[in-house]
Amino acid sequence: MASFLSYVLFLISLFSTLFLSINGVLPNGYFSEAKPIKRTEKLSHLHFYFHDILSGKTPSAVKIISSPPKAKSATGLFGTTFMTDDALTVGQEPTSKIVGRAQGFYSAASQSDVSFLMVMNYVFTEGKYNGSTISILGRNPVLDDVREMPIVGGSGLFRFARGYALAHTVWFDPKTGDAIVEYNVFVLHY
């Protein structure tokens, strides 16, 4: 009697395991099964100004690597790297409302002109995007009027982000290297 009962229990557990596995309730190993989704992608346009301030007592961009002597380049900059925590503002003036920060680094990556490798997370600190980020990884030939850089990802409201940023320098001080850059960002996300 006891063995018949355990046989029945065994059959029940076998079939329920099979049934649940087929229905995707039990993960197959570590990964759960991929599920088809239907979601609408949005295109957002963001407009702001980036303040890259190297001068003064509290610069928001600091040189962390100088070009080594053996790095021969037309500009003398090759390899030079700056780490930034630059303000992103609504308007062009330095006193304009801050809506985010550009945290990351840029490195002189060209031996023949002034082109930077940009590795940046732009974190927004206002409104519905507060805490959301977009990640930029691109080439920035800073003397060009408009530079296009890819948005390669994001977080928060910008999960699954991809798109592009258009950067246009609106003010530059050649003595200090300080610059204000207008950004138009077009980003697809869910």
Ligand X SMILES: *[C@@H]1O[C@H](CO)[C@@H](O)[C@H](O)[C@H]1NC(C)=O
The position carrying tokens 């138009």 is: 184
What three-state secondary structure class fits 12? helix
Q: How many residues bind ligand X (CB under 6 A)?
A: 4
Q: Quick one: CA torsion of 182, 153, 144, 56, rounded to 10 degrees?
A: 50
Residue 100 Cβ vs ligand X, minimum distance, rounded to whole Å: 11
Residue number, 102 or 142, with CB nearest to ligand X: 102
Answer whether 123's CB lies under 8 Å from 100's CB: yes
Task: Identify which of residues 68 and 131 has a Cβ nearer to ligand X in the complex.
Answer: 131
Cα-atom radius of gyration of the chain, to the nearest Å? 26
173 interacts with ligand X by CB under 6 A: no
Interacting span for ligand X (CB under 6 A) from 64-72, 100-108, 114-122, 126-134: 126-134
Should residue 27 be labelled a site residue for ligand X when binding is judged by CB under 6 A?
no
Contacts of 86 (CB under 8 A, 6+ apart): 50, 51, 52, 53, 60, 61, 101, 102, 103
Applying CB under 6 A, does 131 fall inside the site for ligand X? yes
- The CB-nearest residue to ligand X is 130
Among 33, 130, 141, 143, binds ligand X (CB under 6 A): 130
Residue 49 to residue 89: CA distance in whole angstroms: 5
**Residue 97 makes contact with ligand X by CB under 6 A:** no
Interacting residues toward ligand X by CB under 6 A: 125-126, 130-131
